[in-house]
Structure 1
Protein backbone atom coordinates (compact mmCIF):
# COMPACT_ATOMS: atom_id res chain seq x y z
CA UNK A 1 0.00 0.00 0.00
CA UNK A 2 1.35 3.43 -0.97
CA UNK A 3 2.10 5.75 1.94
CA UNK A 4 1.04 9.30 1.13
CA UNK A 5 2.66 12.51 2.38
CA UNK A 6 -0.75 13.95 3.33
CA UNK A 7 -3.88 11.88 3.95
CA UNK A 8 -6.24 11.74 0.99
CA UNK A 9 -10.04 11.62 1.09
CA UNK A 10 -11.22 9.58 -1.87
CA UNK A 11 -14.70 9.87 -3.32
CA UNK A 12 -15.37 7.22 -5.95
CA UNK A 13 -18.26 7.77 -8.35
CA UNK A 14 -19.44 5.17 -10.84
CA UNK A 15 -20.72 7.87 -13.22
CA UNK A 16 -20.54 11.67 -13.13
CA UNK A 17 -20.91 14.53 -15.59
CA UNK A 18 -17.53 15.99 -14.63
CA UNK A 19 -15.35 15.39 -11.60
CA UNK A 20 -14.40 19.09 -11.57
CA UNK A 21 -18.06 20.11 -11.62
CA UNK A 22 -18.81 17.66 -8.82
CA UNK A 23 -16.11 19.26 -6.66
CA UNK A 24 -17.31 22.78 -7.53
CA UNK A 25 -20.81 21.92 -6.34
CA UNK A 26 -19.63 20.47 -3.02
CA UNK A 27 -16.20 21.82 -2.10
CA UNK A 28 -17.55 23.93 0.77
CA UNK A 29 -17.74 20.69 2.74
CA UNK A 30 -14.61 19.02 1.41
CA UNK A 31 -11.30 18.59 3.17
CA UNK A 32 -7.88 19.35 1.75
CA UNK A 33 -6.65 16.59 -0.60
CA UNK A 34 -10.13 15.36 -1.40
CA UNK A 35 -9.95 13.40 -4.64
CA UNK A 36 -12.97 12.58 -6.80
CA UNK A 37 -12.45 9.65 -9.16
CA UNK A 38 -14.93 8.31 -11.67
CA UNK A 39 -14.76 5.47 -14.19
CA UNK A 40 -17.39 7.14 -16.36
CA UNK A 41 -17.12 10.89 -16.88
CA UNK A 42 -19.77 11.93 -19.39
CA UNK A 43 -19.00 15.64 -19.82
CA UNK A 44 -15.36 16.10 -18.96
CA UNK A 45 -13.81 19.34 -20.16
CA UNK A 46 -10.32 20.44 -21.04
CA UNK A 47 -8.76 23.82 -21.68
CA UNK A 48 -10.82 26.38 -23.63
CA UNK A 49 -14.01 24.30 -23.14
CA UNK A 50 -12.71 21.39 -25.21
CA UNK A 51 -14.37 18.12 -24.23
CA UNK A 52 -12.38 15.17 -22.91
CA UNK A 53 -14.19 12.14 -24.37
CA UNK A 54 -13.16 8.75 -23.00
CA UNK A 55 -14.48 5.20 -22.96
CA UNK A 56 -16.08 4.01 -19.74
CA UNK A 57 -13.79 2.08 -17.42
CA UNK A 58 -10.65 2.32 -19.56
CA UNK A 59 -8.98 5.56 -18.49
CA UNK A 60 -8.26 7.77 -15.50
CA UNK A 61 -10.45 10.83 -14.94
CA UNK A 62 -10.27 12.46 -11.53
CA UNK A 63 -10.05 15.79 -9.71
CA UNK A 64 -7.87 16.88 -6.83
CA UNK A 65 -9.13 19.55 -4.42
CA UNK A 66 -6.60 21.72 -2.57
CA UNK A 67 -7.37 24.60 -0.24
CA UNK A 68 -5.50 27.22 1.80
CA UNK A 69 -2.71 27.33 -0.78
CA UNK A 70 -2.51 31.17 -0.79
CA UNK A 71 -0.75 31.72 -4.11
CA UNK A 72 -0.43 35.18 -5.63
CA UNK A 73 -2.78 35.68 -8.57
CA UNK A 74 0.04 35.95 -11.10
CA UNK A 75 1.52 32.68 -9.85
CA UNK A 76 -1.48 30.48 -10.57
CA UNK A 77 0.37 28.95 -13.50
CA UNK A 78 2.64 27.17 -11.00
CA UNK A 79 -0.20 24.75 -10.25
CA UNK A 80 -0.24 23.70 -13.91
CA UNK A 81 3.52 23.28 -13.86
CA UNK A 82 3.71 21.11 -10.78
CA UNK A 83 0.81 18.87 -11.86
CA UNK A 84 2.30 18.52 -15.36
CA UNK A 85 5.64 17.61 -13.78
CA UNK A 86 4.03 15.02 -11.52
CA UNK A 87 2.24 13.27 -14.36
CA UNK A 88 5.29 13.46 -16.58
CA UNK A 89 7.55 11.95 -13.92
CA UNK A 90 5.14 9.05 -13.45
CA UNK A 91 5.03 8.27 -17.17
CA UNK A 92 8.72 9.02 -17.77
CA UNK A 93 9.47 5.96 -15.63
CA UNK A 94 7.98 3.79 -18.38
CA UNK A 95 9.48 5.58 -21.40
CA UNK A 96 11.67 8.63 -21.97
CA UNK A 97 9.68 9.93 -24.97
CA UNK A 98 6.96 11.66 -22.96
CA UNK A 99 6.91 15.48 -23.09
CA UNK A 100 4.99 18.32 -21.49
CA UNK A 101 3.15 20.51 -23.98
CA UNK A 102 2.50 24.07 -22.82
CA UNK A 103 0.49 24.81 -20.86
CA UNK A 104 -0.81 21.50 -19.49
CA UNK A 105 -0.85 18.51 -21.86
CA UNK A 106 1.25 15.36 -21.86
CA UNK A 107 2.52 14.22 -25.25
CA UNK A 108 4.00 11.00 -26.61
CA UNK A 109 5.39 10.95 -30.17
CA UNK A 110 3.35 14.03 -31.11
CA UNK A 111 0.11 12.55 -29.75
CA UNK A 112 -1.79 13.61 -26.64
CA UNK A 113 -2.09 11.12 -23.82
CA UNK A 114 -3.13 13.35 -20.92
CA UNK A 115 -4.44 16.77 -19.99
CA UNK A 116 -5.08 19.03 -17.02
CA UNK A 117 -7.74 21.62 -16.22
CA UNK A 118 -7.26 23.84 -13.16
CA UNK A 119 -10.01 26.05 -11.75
CA UNK A 120 -9.05 28.47 -9.00
CA UNK A 121 -11.00 30.30 -6.31
CA UNK A 122 -9.82 33.78 -5.27
CA UNK A 123 -9.92 35.12 -1.72
CA UNK A 124 -8.33 38.44 -0.64
CA UNK A 125 -6.56 38.73 -4.01
CA UNK A 126 -4.89 35.34 -3.66
CA UNK A 127 -5.60 31.88 -5.02
CA UNK A 128 -7.11 30.19 -1.99
CA UNK A 129 -8.55 26.98 -3.43
CA UNK A 130 -7.97 25.04 -6.61
CA UNK A 131 -9.66 22.14 -8.38
CA UNK A 132 -7.33 20.16 -10.61
CA UNK A 133 -8.98 17.95 -13.21
CA UNK A 134 -6.80 15.26 -14.72
CA UNK A 135 -7.45 12.95 -17.65
CA UNK A 136 -5.08 10.20 -18.74
CA UNK A 137 -5.67 7.76 -21.59
CA UNK A 138 -4.75 4.34 -20.27
CA UNK A 139 -6.41 1.27 -21.80
CA UNK A 140 -8.47 2.83 -24.60
CA UNK A 141 -7.53 1.70 -28.11
CA UNK A 142 -9.71 3.80 -30.43
CA UNK A 143 -9.97 7.59 -30.61
CA UNK A 144 -11.79 10.11 -32.76
CA UNK A 145 -9.80 10.57 -35.97
CA UNK A 146 -10.00 14.34 -35.53
CA UNK A 147 -7.82 14.12 -32.42
CA UNK A 148 -4.18 13.15 -32.34
CA UNK A 149 -4.46 10.93 -29.26
CA UNK A 150 -2.81 7.83 -27.87
CA UNK A 151 -2.91 5.72 -24.70
CA UNK A 152 -0.65 3.67 -22.46
CA UNK A 153 -2.02 0.46 -23.98
CA UNK A 154 -1.34 1.60 -27.54
CA UNK A 155 2.21 2.61 -26.62
CA UNK A 156 3.18 -0.43 -24.56
CA UNK A 157 0.79 -3.07 -26.00
CA UNK A 158 -0.52 -4.15 -22.62
CA UNK A 159 -3.27 -3.36 -20.14
CA UNK A 160 -2.50 -1.26 -17.08
CA UNK A 161 -4.16 -1.61 -13.68
CA UNK A 162 -6.03 1.66 -13.26
CA UNK A 163 -6.00 1.66 -9.48
CA UNK A 164 -2.25 1.11 -9.26
CA UNK A 165 -1.52 3.87 -11.76
CA UNK A 166 -4.01 6.19 -10.04
CA UNK A 167 -2.27 5.92 -6.67
CA UNK A 168 1.15 6.39 -8.29
CA UNK A 169 -0.08 9.63 -9.82
CA UNK A 170 -1.52 10.92 -6.53
CA UNK A 171 1.75 10.23 -4.71
CA UNK A 172 3.70 11.94 -7.49
CA UNK A 173 1.42 15.01 -7.24
CA UNK A 174 1.98 15.16 -3.48
CA UNK A 175 5.74 14.88 -3.93
CA UNK A 176 5.75 17.67 -6.50
CA UNK A 177 3.65 19.87 -4.23
CA UNK A 178 6.11 19.20 -1.40
CA UNK A 179 9.03 20.11 -3.68
CA UNK A 180 7.32 23.39 -4.50
CA UNK A 181 6.61 24.29 -0.87
CA UNK A 182 10.16 23.27 0.12
CA UNK A 183 12.30 24.53 -2.77
CA UNK A 184 10.13 27.11 -4.49
CA UNK A 185 9.10 28.09 -7.98
CA UNK A 186 12.54 27.74 -9.62
CA UNK A 187 12.73 24.04 -8.81
CA UNK A 188 9.37 23.37 -10.45
CA UNK A 189 10.12 25.60 -13.47
CA UNK A 190 13.46 23.95 -14.17
CA UNK A 191 12.00 20.47 -14.55
CA UNK A 192 9.11 21.77 -16.65
CA UNK A 193 11.42 23.69 -18.99
CA UNK A 194 13.77 20.72 -19.37
CA UNK A 195 10.89 18.55 -20.62
CA UNK A 196 8.91 21.14 -22.61
CA UNK A 197 7.60 19.83 -25.93
CA UNK A 198 9.27 21.39 -29.01
CA UNK A 199 11.41 23.77 -27.01
CA UNK A 200 14.18 25.21 -29.21
CA UNK A 201 12.68 23.59 -32.33
CA UNK A 202 11.23 25.50 -35.27
CA UNK A 203 7.45 25.08 -35.12
CA UNK A 204 4.29 26.44 -36.69
CA UNK A 205 1.66 28.28 -34.67
CA UNK A 206 -1.65 30.01 -35.22
CA UNK A 207 -1.49 33.51 -33.76
CA UNK A 208 -4.99 34.52 -32.66
CA UNK A 209 -3.89 38.11 -32.05
CA UNK A 210 -3.30 38.70 -35.76
CA UNK A 211 -5.33 35.75 -37.14
CA UNK A 212 -2.52 34.19 -39.14
CA UNK A 213 -0.02 31.35 -39.09
CA UNK A 214 3.51 32.09 -37.94
CA UNK A 215 6.78 30.21 -37.77
CA UNK A 216 8.75 30.42 -34.58
CA UNK A 217 10.65 28.68 -31.81
CA UNK A 218 9.59 28.15 -28.20
CA UNK A 219 12.29 29.68 -25.99
CA UNK A 220 10.85 29.98 -22.51
CA UNK A 221 7.85 30.71 -20.31
CA UNK A 222 7.61 33.93 -18.32
CA UNK A 223 7.28 34.16 -14.54
CA UNK A 224 3.55 34.64 -15.11
CA UNK A 225 3.23 31.52 -17.26
CA UNK A 226 3.12 33.10 -20.74
CA UNK A 227 4.77 31.26 -23.61
CA UNK A 228 7.81 33.00 -25.10
CA UNK A 229 8.25 32.46 -28.84
CA UNK A 230 11.04 33.75 -31.05
CA UNK A 231 9.52 34.55 -34.44
CA UNK A 232 11.70 33.35 -37.30
CA UNK A 233 11.27 36.28 -39.65
CA UNK A 234 12.59 38.95 -37.27
CA UNK A 235 14.19 36.99 -34.40
CA UNK A 236 12.17 38.99 -31.85
CA UNK A 237 10.66 37.45 -28.70
CA UNK A 238 6.90 37.61 -28.13
CA UNK A 239 4.79 36.49 -25.17
CA UNK A 240 1.44 34.73 -25.54
CA UNK A 241 -1.36 33.60 -23.25
CA UNK A 242 -3.20 30.33 -23.84
CA UNK A 243 -5.97 32.12 -25.78
CA UNK A 244 -3.54 33.95 -28.06
CA UNK A 245 -1.49 31.14 -29.59
CA UNK A 246 -1.92 27.54 -30.71
CA UNK A 247 0.88 25.15 -31.58
CA UNK A 248 0.12 23.43 -34.89
CA UNK A 249 3.27 21.33 -35.34
Structure 2
Protein backbone atom coordinates (compact mmCIF):
# COMPACT_ATOMS: atom_id res chain seq x y z
CA UNK A 1 0.00 0.00 0.00
CA UNK A 2 1.39 3.40 -0.96
CA UNK A 3 1.77 6.01 1.78
CA UNK A 4 1.46 9.77 1.24
CA UNK A 5 3.29 11.81 3.90
CA UNK A 6 2.38 15.29 5.13
CA UNK A 7 4.04 17.61 7.62
CA UNK A 8 0.64 18.76 8.88
CA UNK A 9 -3.05 18.16 8.24
CA UNK A 10 -6.18 19.24 10.04
CA UNK A 11 -7.32 15.61 10.00
CA UNK A 12 -5.96 12.68 8.02
CA UNK A 13 -9.42 11.11 8.04
CA UNK A 14 -11.26 14.20 6.79
CA UNK A 15 -8.64 14.81 4.11
CA UNK A 16 -8.74 11.22 2.88
CA UNK A 17 -12.54 11.21 2.73
CA UNK A 18 -12.44 14.35 0.57
CA UNK A 19 -9.79 12.88 -1.72
CA UNK A 20 -11.67 9.60 -2.16
CA UNK A 21 -14.96 11.39 -2.84
CA UNK A 22 -13.34 13.64 -5.45
CA UNK A 23 -11.52 10.63 -6.95
CA UNK A 24 -8.15 12.35 -6.55
CA UNK A 25 -7.00 9.30 -4.59
CA UNK A 26 -8.18 5.72 -4.75
CA UNK A 27 -7.91 2.66 -2.52
CA UNK A 28 -5.65 1.13 -1.42
CA UNK A 29 -3.86 4.20 -0.07
CA UNK A 30 -2.63 5.53 3.28
CA UNK A 31 -1.94 9.06 4.55
CA UNK A 32 0.26 10.06 7.48
CA UNK A 33 0.76 13.48 9.05
CA UNK A 34 3.57 14.48 11.41
CA UNK A 35 1.15 16.89 13.11
CA UNK A 36 -2.63 16.85 13.27
CA UNK A 37 -4.48 19.99 14.34
CA UNK A 38 -8.15 18.97 14.18
CA UNK A 39 -8.22 15.19 14.21
CA UNK A 40 -11.58 13.47 14.48
CA UNK A 41 -12.13 10.75 17.07
CA UNK A 42 -15.18 8.66 17.86
CA UNK A 43 -18.39 10.47 18.86
CA UNK A 44 -16.97 13.61 17.15
CA UNK A 45 -14.26 13.96 19.81
CA UNK A 46 -10.98 15.54 18.74
CA UNK A 47 -7.60 13.81 18.52
CA UNK A 48 -4.81 16.29 17.97
CA UNK A 49 -1.09 16.14 18.50
CA UNK A 50 2.43 17.02 17.57
CA UNK A 51 5.40 15.44 15.90
CA UNK A 52 6.59 12.06 17.11
CA UNK A 53 3.11 10.60 17.48
CA UNK A 54 1.27 8.56 14.87
CA UNK A 55 -1.65 10.05 12.93
CA UNK A 56 -2.80 8.22 9.82
CA UNK A 57 -5.74 7.09 7.75
CA UNK A 58 -6.02 4.48 5.05
CA UNK A 59 -8.56 3.30 2.50
CA UNK A 60 -9.10 -0.27 1.33
CA UNK A 61 -11.53 -1.84 -1.09
CA UNK A 62 -14.26 -3.86 0.59
CA UNK A 63 -13.53 -6.76 -1.76
CA UNK A 64 -10.00 -7.02 -0.34
CA UNK A 65 -11.20 -7.55 3.23
CA UNK A 66 -11.69 -11.06 4.64
CA UNK A 67 -14.99 -12.55 3.53
CA UNK A 68 -15.92 -13.47 7.10
CA UNK A 69 -15.35 -9.95 8.51
CA UNK A 70 -18.60 -8.36 9.81
CA UNK A 71 -18.57 -4.73 8.66
CA UNK A 72 -20.06 -3.68 12.00
CA UNK A 73 -16.85 -4.87 13.66
CA UNK A 74 -14.16 -3.44 11.38
CA UNK A 75 -13.01 -1.14 14.21
CA UNK A 76 -12.24 -4.18 16.35
CA UNK A 77 -10.46 -5.84 13.44
CA UNK A 78 -8.22 -2.90 12.51
CA UNK A 79 -7.57 -1.96 16.15
CA UNK A 80 -6.60 -5.45 17.22
CA UNK A 81 -4.05 -5.73 14.42
CA UNK A 82 -2.48 -2.48 15.68
CA UNK A 83 -2.55 -3.84 19.22
CA UNK A 84 -0.54 -6.87 18.08
CA UNK A 85 1.99 -4.65 16.28
CA UNK A 86 2.43 -2.44 19.36
CA UNK A 87 3.00 -5.52 21.51
CA UNK A 88 6.24 -6.11 19.62
CA UNK A 89 7.58 -2.95 21.28
CA UNK A 90 5.70 -2.77 24.60
CA UNK A 91 3.67 -5.03 26.88
CA UNK A 92 0.41 -4.42 28.78
CA UNK A 93 -1.42 -3.05 25.75
CA UNK A 94 -5.05 -4.06 25.33
CA UNK A 95 -8.08 -3.22 23.22
CA UNK A 96 -11.14 -1.81 24.96
CA UNK A 97 -14.25 -2.69 22.99
CA UNK A 98 -14.57 -1.65 20.29
CA UNK A 99 -11.88 0.82 19.22
CA UNK A 100 -9.74 2.22 22.07
CA UNK A 101 -6.15 1.16 22.67
CA UNK A 102 -4.99 1.18 26.28
CA UNK A 103 -1.66 0.91 28.06
CA UNK A 104 -2.42 -0.40 31.54
CA UNK A 105 -5.34 1.87 32.59
CA UNK A 106 -4.54 4.70 30.21
CA UNK A 107 -5.97 5.34 26.77
CA UNK A 108 -3.16 5.90 24.27
CA UNK A 109 -4.97 5.63 20.95
CA UNK A 110 -8.13 4.96 19.04
CA UNK A 111 -9.71 4.06 15.73
CA UNK A 112 -12.53 5.47 13.63
CA UNK A 113 -13.98 3.95 10.45
CA UNK A 114 -16.27 5.04 7.63
CA UNK A 115 -17.72 3.29 4.58
CA UNK A 116 -17.91 5.12 1.26
CA UNK A 117 -19.62 3.00 -1.40
CA UNK A 118 -17.19 0.12 -2.01
CA UNK A 119 -14.34 1.64 0.01
CA UNK A 120 -13.68 1.41 3.74
CA UNK A 121 -11.69 4.17 5.43
CA UNK A 122 -9.96 3.87 8.78
CA UNK A 123 -8.24 6.57 10.82
CA UNK A 124 -5.99 6.02 13.83
CA UNK A 125 -4.16 8.13 16.35
CA UNK A 126 -1.51 6.65 18.65
CA UNK A 127 0.29 8.65 21.33
CA UNK A 128 3.85 7.41 21.10
CA UNK A 129 5.19 10.41 22.99
CA UNK A 130 3.70 12.90 25.45
CA UNK A 131 0.94 14.81 23.75
CA UNK A 132 -1.36 17.76 24.30
CA UNK A 133 -4.63 15.91 23.61
CA UNK A 134 -5.21 15.01 27.25
CA UNK A 135 -4.36 11.31 26.93
CA UNK A 136 -1.34 9.34 28.08
CA UNK A 137 1.48 8.11 25.84
CA UNK A 138 3.47 4.93 25.39
CA UNK A 139 6.78 6.83 25.39
CA UNK A 140 8.21 4.39 22.88
CA UNK A 141 11.49 5.14 21.18
CA UNK A 142 10.30 4.23 17.68
CA UNK A 143 9.58 6.40 14.68
CA UNK A 144 5.95 6.94 13.72
CA UNK A 145 6.56 6.12 10.06
CA UNK A 146 8.24 2.83 11.00
CA UNK A 147 5.23 1.88 13.13
CA UNK A 148 2.86 2.71 10.28
CA UNK A 149 4.86 0.63 7.81
CA UNK A 150 4.90 -2.27 10.28
CA UNK A 151 1.15 -1.99 10.74
CA UNK A 152 0.33 -1.89 7.03
CA UNK A 153 2.57 -4.89 6.43
CA UNK A 154 0.54 -6.91 8.95
CA UNK A 155 -2.76 -5.51 7.70
CA UNK A 156 -2.07 -6.50 4.11
CA UNK A 157 -1.87 -10.13 5.21
CA UNK A 158 -5.60 -9.71 5.92
CA UNK A 159 -5.95 -12.32 8.68
CA UNK A 160 -9.44 -13.74 8.86
CA UNK A 161 -12.01 -12.38 11.30
CA UNK A 162 -12.03 -15.83 12.91
CA UNK A 163 -8.31 -15.50 13.66
CA UNK A 164 -8.65 -12.00 15.12
CA UNK A 165 -11.84 -12.72 17.05
CA UNK A 166 -10.50 -15.91 18.65
CA UNK A 167 -7.62 -13.95 20.18
CA UNK A 168 -9.68 -10.92 21.16
CA UNK A 169 -12.32 -13.10 22.82
CA UNK A 170 -9.66 -14.51 25.16
CA UNK A 171 -8.73 -10.98 26.26
CA UNK A 172 -12.26 -9.61 26.53
CA UNK A 173 -12.35 -10.14 30.30
CA UNK A 174 -10.14 -7.06 30.63
CA UNK A 175 -12.76 -4.96 28.84
CA UNK A 176 -15.45 -6.20 31.23
CA UNK A 177 -13.72 -4.31 34.05
CA UNK A 178 -14.50 -0.93 32.48
CA UNK A 179 -17.37 1.09 31.02
CA UNK A 180 -18.00 2.31 27.48
CA UNK A 181 -20.08 4.90 25.65
CA UNK A 182 -23.00 2.99 24.15
CA UNK A 183 -25.95 4.65 22.44
CA UNK A 184 -25.23 7.97 24.13
CA UNK A 185 -24.75 6.53 27.61
CA UNK A 186 -21.76 5.45 29.67
CA UNK A 187 -22.49 1.81 30.53
CA UNK A 188 -20.68 -0.81 32.56
CA UNK A 189 -19.46 -3.80 30.55
CA UNK A 190 -19.27 -6.07 33.60
CA UNK A 191 -22.11 -8.30 32.41
CA UNK A 192 -21.55 -7.86 28.67
CA UNK A 193 -21.32 -10.96 26.49
CA UNK A 194 -19.15 -10.81 23.37
CA UNK A 195 -20.83 -12.38 20.32
CA UNK A 196 -19.10 -14.09 17.40
CA UNK A 197 -19.78 -11.11 15.13
CA UNK A 198 -18.11 -8.69 17.57
CA UNK A 199 -21.34 -7.24 18.93
CA UNK A 200 -22.17 -7.19 22.64
CA UNK A 201 -25.21 -8.50 24.45
CA UNK A 202 -26.02 -6.15 27.35
CA UNK A 203 -29.21 -6.62 29.34
CA UNK A 204 -30.58 -8.88 26.58
CA UNK A 205 -29.98 -6.21 23.92
CA UNK A 206 -27.48 -6.51 21.07
CA UNK A 207 -25.10 -3.58 20.59
CA UNK A 208 -22.80 -3.05 17.60
CA UNK A 209 -19.64 -0.97 17.62
CA UNK A 210 -20.49 1.40 14.73
CA UNK A 211 -17.31 3.43 15.20
**TM-score range for the pair, normalised by the shorter chain length:** 0.7 to 0.9
- 2:76 alignment partner, SS class: helix
Q: 4+ runs of 1 displaced by more than 4 Å?
A: 201-209, 211-215
Unpaired segments ≥5 residues, structure 2: none
User: Structure 1 110/76 Cα, relative in aligned 2: closer, same or farther at 3 Å?
Assistant: same
- 1:64 alignment partner, SS class: strand
Which structure carries more relative contact order (alpha carbon 8 Å, separation 6+)? 2
Q: Which residue of 2 aligns with 1:239?
A: 206
User: What aligned pairs does 1:109-124 form with structure 2 within 5 A after superposition?
Assistant: 109-122=104-117
Residue deviations 1:64-123, cap 9 Å, x none? 111242779x9213422221121111112233311111111111111111111101023x
In 2, Cα distance between equivalents of 1:150 and 1:78: 25
Unpaired segments ≥5 residues, structure 1: 1-7, 123-127, 230-235, 244-249
- 1:163 alignment partner, SS class: helix
Instruction: Give the TM-score taking structure 1 as reference length.
Output: 0.71
Q: Is the 8 A contact 1:202 1:217 kept in 2?
A: no
CA RMSD of aligned residues (A): 2.8
User: What aligned pairs does 1:1-249 form with structure 2 within 5 A after superposition?
Assistant: 8-27=1-20, 28-54=23-49, 56-69=50-63, 75-122=70-117, 128-140=118-130, 144=134, 149-153=135-139, 159-175=141-157, 177=158, 179-180=159-160, 185-196=161-172, 198-199=174-175, 201=176, 203=178, 216-221=190-195, 223=197, 225-229=198-202, 237-242=204-209
Instruction: Give the TM-score taking structure 2 as reference length.
Output: 0.83
In 2, Cα distance between equivalents of 1:121 and 1:84: 19
In 1, Cα distance between equivalents of 2:148 and 2:101: 16
Q: Give the drift of 1:141.
A: 5.3
Residue deviations 1:7-43, cap 9 Å, x none? x222111111111111111112323321111011111
Larger radius of gyration: 1
